[in-house]
């Protein structure tokens, strides 16, 4: 909801799915958009691993590249009036977030080489 003012200023009276997707998913300049968050997270993961500036790590590539997302594809409607490409992107981002979180936890916060072994047991 923090993007409401930006939405109204940018799109005036337009109230459709494409304008919402453009602002909340694809706008790389909006710090609340999925594209901005994903791109920033990819860079931060690479920096966490000590990569050179501009170089991504294998874990960074677990997150989808926002440059490959298009408004036309994400706003294409399915046979039931839904948005299957948008739903798939969101599901993939959710799955990737869990995977990346687990990988970061295992890599940087597990005290043993076996992530399934409890330190206190």
pLDDT for 67-113, tens place per residue? 999 999 999 999 998 999 999 999 999 999 999 999 999 888 877 65
Give tens-digit pLDDT for 14-65: 778 888 899 889 999 989 899 999 999 999 999 888 888 778 888 999 999 9
Helices (H), the chain: 4-11, 17-21, 34-48, 71-74, 84-109
Contact 72, 31 (CB under 8 A): no
pTM of the predicted protein model:
0.76
Q: Is the pLDDT of residue 13 over 80?
A: no
Tokens representing residue 30 in the block:
């909006």
Dihedral of the alpha carbons of 18, 19, 22, 25, in degrees to the nearest 10: -80
34-48 and 84-109 helices, crossing angle to 10°: 20
């Amino acid at each position: 909801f923090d993007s409401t003012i930006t939405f109204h200023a940018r799109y005036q009276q337009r109230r459709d799915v494409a304008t919402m997707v453009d602002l909340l998913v694809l706008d790389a300049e909006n710090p609340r958009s999925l594209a901005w968050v994903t791109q920033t997270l990819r860079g931060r993961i690479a920096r966490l691993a000590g990569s050179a500036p501009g170089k991504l790590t294998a874990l960074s590539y677990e997150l989808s590249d926002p440059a490959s997302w298009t408004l036309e594809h994400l706003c294409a409607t399915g046979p039931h009036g839904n948005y299957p490409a948008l739903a798939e992107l969101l599901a993939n981002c959710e799955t990737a977030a869990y995977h990346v979180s687990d990988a970061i936890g295992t890599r940087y916060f597990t005290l043993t080489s076996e992530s399934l072994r409890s330190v206190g047991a």
